[in-house]
């Protein structure tokens, strides 16, 4: 007889390099921040306490802060507050781990029921914390070095060998691995030799109360944009991996094909420099000038989520041209607002976009311009895709994500208590010839 479900009472989440309190869209803050914050909120709504451990990056940052009741963000001092890039943080993992161990001394030994680490740096720390507290370790990669290195943008440096080694160690140490999509599960198995029975597919979600359909003209008025005309939008961190240059090149090609379009076209890039983009912070502005389109391009700093939703509603199309994407929260947010997405056919974007958008193979400007131009010309198809997008996004609420996540937590706790490796929750499709744990 299987053991009864073991509901966690307290969960320690670890996000070393970026805090859920930070504004997504610049620096190292992005989809991971949203994932951690939203799942923690949902867990707290179910009566599960969550402590999120992250690195302190300013002297003004409080040692502890409540995200919502039941979710406490604990800032750990590890290295200088400022001036450390994500690539420098492996040298601070010992200090960060010591800070977590020190925090653990203030609570009973059995305080935490499970550790959930996010990104490989956190996985290294989570490995130690879970071992020290004798609890299960659940890990979400979010991105993987070997996957990114297979899909590098031109001029983007490869991820270092040290990260690959660290990721392999986390895969071996974790009791459970969370993949966003079936493709990511396959990559964990094929590229990292993850045991299939340890891998569970749990798609991320979208805030369906904030990202909702609305009147496009009213959204444009609220943002001070031309009410009529065409608006193409990119949202995300400005770095080669996210390929925002594709949007500018597409705009240049559209204007070359139809110079009269300049009177009605607006191109918006919403985000801030990140990663290798920090070394060339003005590259996109220079590209816009070089293409002769700087008069139609607007560069917008990251904004709060309600305002971001207005940008999605205002756009005719949202472009997500990333070279690698584990899921693509921007795509699902845009679709929840009723805006069709044109996305690269990579990583988790086919899952995020589904049949409610257009996927483009490669990053060649003519192919992207053809896809965008055909949708701008066909109002009926674009509106139909927008309607389908809302229905598609409705499947991905954070509540559903957290329900599935809790099943993985319960299984990891049971396995740790039994000292066994249970069969998958549900036998999903065969990946490289063997079943993977797929949460339906």
Annotated binding site for UDP-N-acetyl-alpha-D-glucosamine: 23-24, 31, 237, 242, 303, 325, 333
| Percentage of the chain exceeding pLDDT 90 | 78
pLDDT (0 to 100) of residue 428 = 36
Tell me what pLDDT residue 427 has.
Answer: 34
Binding residues for Mg(2+): 312-313, 315, 339
Q: Can you give the pLDDT at residue 21?
A: 86
pLDDT the model gives residue 419:
79
Assessment of whether the complete model's pTM goes beyond 0.85: yes
| Ranges in the chain, pLDDT < 70 | 1-5, 25-27, 274-279, 420-440
pLDDT at residue 276, as a whole number: 53
Annotated binding site: 17, 23-24, 28-33, 86, 119, 143, 163, 237, 242, 303, 312-313, 315, 325, 333, 339
Task: Give the annotated binding-site residues for 1D-myo-inositol 3-phosphate.
Answer: 17, 28-33, 86, 119, 143, 163
Token pair in block for residue 354: 């589904």
Average pLDDT score, the chain:
90
What per-residue string of b and e applies to 118-150 under the rule 16 or more CB within 10 Å gives b? bbbbbbbbbbbbbeebebbbbbbbbbbbbbbbe
pLDDT at 435: 36
Quick one: pLDDT at residue 25? Answer: 67
Does the domain at residues 10-205+398-438 carry the CATH identifier 3.40.50.150?
no
For 216-395, give the CATH class.
alpha beta
Quote the pLDDT of residue 275: 58
Question: How much helix, strand and coil, in percent to the nearest 5, is found in the chain?
Answer: 45, 20, 35
Looking at the chain, which residues constitute the CATH 3.40.50.2000 domain(s)?
Answer: 10-205+398-438, 216-395
Give the distance, in angstroms, between the CA of residue 97 and the centroid of all CA atoms in the same chain. 24
DSSP category for residue 88 = G
| E runs forming strands in 195-259 | 199-201, 230-235
- Rounded to whole angstroms, how far apart are CA atoms 365 and 245? 10
């Amino acid at each position: 007889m299987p053991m009864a479900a073991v509901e966690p009472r307290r969960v320690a989440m670890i996000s070393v390099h970026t805090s859920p309190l930070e504004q997504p869209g610049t620096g190292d803050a992005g989809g991971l921040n949203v994932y951690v914050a939203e799942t923690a909120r949902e867990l707290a709504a179910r009566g599960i306490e969550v402590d999120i451990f992250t690195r302190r990056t300013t002297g003004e940052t409080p040692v502890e802060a409540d995200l919502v009741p039941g979710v406490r963000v604990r800032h750990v001092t590890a290295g200088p507050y400022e001036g450390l890039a994500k690539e420098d943080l492996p040298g601070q993992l010992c200090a960060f781990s010591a800070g977590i161990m020190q925090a653990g001394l203030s609570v009973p030994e059995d305080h935490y029921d499970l550790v959930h680490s996010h990104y490989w740096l956190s996985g290294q720390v989570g490995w130690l914390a879970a071992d020290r507290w004798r609890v299960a370790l659940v890990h979400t990669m979010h991105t993987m070095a070997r996957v990114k290195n297979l899909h590098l943008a031109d001029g983007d440096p490869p991820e270092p060998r040290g990260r690959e080694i660290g990721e392999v160690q986390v895969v071996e140490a974790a009791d459970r691995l969370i993949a966003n999509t079936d493709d990511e599960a396959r990559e964990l198995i094929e590229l990292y030799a993850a045991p299939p029975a340890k891998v569970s597919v749990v798609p991320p979600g979208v805030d369906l109360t904030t990202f909702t359909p609305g009147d496009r003209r009213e959204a444009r008025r609220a943002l001070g944009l031309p009410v009529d005309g065409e608006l193409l939008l990119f949202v995300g961190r400005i770095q080669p991996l996210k390929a925002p240059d594709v949007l500018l090149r597409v705009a240049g090609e559209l204007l070359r094909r139809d110079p009269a379009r300049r009177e009605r076209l607006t191109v918006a890039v919403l985000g801030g420099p990140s990663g290798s983009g920090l070394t060339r912070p003005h590259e996109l502005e220079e590209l816009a000038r070089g293409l002769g389109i700087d008069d139609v391009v607007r560069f917008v700093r990251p904004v709060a989520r309600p305002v971001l939703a207005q940008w999605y509603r205002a756009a005719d199309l949202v472009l997500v041209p990333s070279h690698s994407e584990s899921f693509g929260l921007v795509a699902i947010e845009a679709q929840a607002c009723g805006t069709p997405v044109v996305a690269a056919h990579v990583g988790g974007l086919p899952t995020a976009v589904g049949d409610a958008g257009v996927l483009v193979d490669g990053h060649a400007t003519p192919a992207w311009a053809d896809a965008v131009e055909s949708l701008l010309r066909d109002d009926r198809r674009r509106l139909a895709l927008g309607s389908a997008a809302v229905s598609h996004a409705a499947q991905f609420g954070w509540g559903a994500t957290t329900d599935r996540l809790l099943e993985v937590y319960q299984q990891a706790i049971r396995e740790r208590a039994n000292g066994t490796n249970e069969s998958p929750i549900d036998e999903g499709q065969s990946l490289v010839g063997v079943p993977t744990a797929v949460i339906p």
